[in-house]
Amino acid sequence: MLKVGIIGCGDIANLNALGYIRSQDAELVAVCDTDLKTAGEKLERWGLRTVKIYTDYKKMIDREDLDIVEILTPHHLHAPMTEYCAKAGVSGISVQKPMAHTISDCDIMIQVCKEENVKLKLFENFRFYPVYLRAKGLLEQGVIGELLNFRINTVSTGGPGMPRGLNSLIWRVKVDVCGGGPMVYDDGIHKFSMALWLMGQERVAKVYGWIDYFSKVIDEPSYIFWKYPSKNSDEPPKCGTMEFTMAPNLYYPSNYYECDEFIEISGTKGIMWINQCTSGGNFISKTPQYPPIVVYVNGEVKSFGEDLPRDWRYSFINSTEHFIDIIKNGGEPIYTGEQGRALCVFAKMPYISSQQKRIVYWEEINAENEEDRSCVVEEPLEADPNGLTAFYRRKRKDFKKGINQGLEHTDFKYQYDQ
């Protein structure tokens, strides 16, 4: 039985724990959080009251002989924690996305894990969402031909969503801790991941970004455009766009975060639409207009994936099961440290573009340029902490309006035992 420890028992720990709770091959033996109460509440919720709690992660690593550690803390802690675990002999380290707040920290993590022969996994769960896996299979079969254009819209809604700690929001709006903003950098990593993986690409060539801070601290609405590298001169140009839409007055129940994603991929033979991810399973999923995958090809429209679970939790469970499997049986993690670093590079490009009002090239985002500060994401110039309060006041008002209209979402509950 593989012994597992979790560092950081905040919001996302609820989802990262699921794959271990139901595993026959791995067992959660210890958790660590600087906030003892939070750790205790989580264990209570997971039905694991006897698991040991630490408030100092170094003590947990030194005292428990762990095979796997899950790092679920704010981004600036990912590198020092990875380094300590790797040097202490933990064989598998899974770090929640984004890999780190800086590219130089990503480089350190890759290097130390290589030296210590540790499997380093960047935990990006969209890559394991059942609907996206089916879409990838169809794309690989060539259902819409050669892929030309990728488009993803993330709509930040008014919820209701899962309850979240205020602390979880506070560190995300500190650029030197987060590495960017809460939407384009933190949440965006998932979307940049899909823009590469679904399109069969490892990187982009150049990016142009326009990032607004309507609420003064949250980096949306935002619009990002890019071009993939051309492999041959005779191939058509391949491009992509990403939108972050701010819709705080949109009543849109979710069991998880208050957002959802809509993807459109155009190919030489057809078009694919992929409906919903984070809030999949809500009432939109149950309408005939929003099947998980829709494909137009040769004058016909077909839908796919109605048999799949549209609950976001399966992306976490599948990702954890994959990591347990490779620690037990060998293989490469999805994603590797290098792939995790590439996602950080991609996610930083739109900020640098928006700050410097120009197209940014992939090669410009590296540790050396962080050193001379030519590729460092800056605090938004007009940031005003009062904006956040105003933003939440407005969200709450619209949220109440929805409930008063009888729109409360009741038929889809968050459970751990499924």
Ligand X SMILES: NC(=O)c1ccc[n+]([C@@H]2O[C@H](COP(=O)([O-])OP(=O)(O)OC[C@H]3O[C@@H](n4cnc5c(N)ncnc54)[C@H](O)[C@@H]3O)[C@@H](O)[C@H]2O)c1
Measure the CA–CA gap between 167 and 369, rounded to whole angstroms. 31
Residue 75 or 341 with smaller CB distance to ligand X: 75
Structure tokens at 168: 């979880």
Distance CA 209, CA 224 (A): 4
Residues forming the site for ligand X (CB under 6 A): 7-12, 32-35, 38, 57, 72-75, 77, 96-97, 125, 165, 167-168, 186
Shortest Å, Cβ 171 to ligand X: 6
Phi, psi of 350, rounded to the nearest 5 degrees: -65, -30
Q: Which residue, 10 or 305, has its beta carbon nearer to ligand X?
A: 10
> Rounded CA gap, 177 and 342, in Å?
19
- Whichever of 138 and 315 has its CB closer to ligand X, that residue is 315
Provide the phi-psi class of 413: left if phi over 0, else alpha when psi is between -120 and 50, else beta: beta
Nearest approach, Cβ of residue 226 and ligand X (Å): 22
Of the pair 17, 376, the CB lying nearest ligand X is at 17
| Residues whose CB is less than 8 angstroms from the CB of residue 299 and which lie 6 or more positions away in sequence, other chains included | none
> Shortest gap between Cβ of 163 and ligand X (angstroms)?
11
CA-to-CA distance for 323 and 296, rounded, in angstroms? 35
User: What minimum distance in Å lies between the beta carbon of 257 and ligand X?
Assistant: 7
Q: Which is nearer to ligand X, 144 or 277 (CB)?
A: 277
Q: Which two tokens stand for residue 157?
A: 């809604």
Residue number, 55 or 230, with CB nearest to ligand X? 55
Nearer to ligand X, 73 or 208 (CB): 73
- When the beta carbons of 16 and 275 are compared against ligand X, the nearer one is 16
Q: Which is nearer to ligand X, 160 or 402 (CB)?
A: 160
Angstrom distance (rounded) from CA 408 to CA 198: 34
CB of 175 to ligand X, least distance (A): 14
The C-alpha atoms of residue 225 and residue 150 are separated, in whole angstroms, by 10
Contact 59, 34 (CB under 8 A): no
Beta pairing, strands 293-297 & 300-304: antiparallel
| In the complex, least distance from residue 100 CB atom to ligand X, rounded to whole angstroms | 9
Q: How far is the CB of 51 from ligand X (least distance, A)?
A: 15
CA 379 to chain centre: 22
Residues in contact with 317: Cβ distance below 8 Å, sequence separation at least 6, in sequence order: 18, 19, 22
Q: CA neighbours within 13 Å on the CB side: how many for 70?
A: 35
Q: Are 104 and 367 in contact (CB under 8 A)?
A: yes
Nearest of 277, 224, 221 to residue 244 by alpha carbon? 221
Minimum distance between the CB of residue 222 and ligand X, rounded to whole angstroms? 17
Chain position whose Cβ is nearest to ligand X = 10
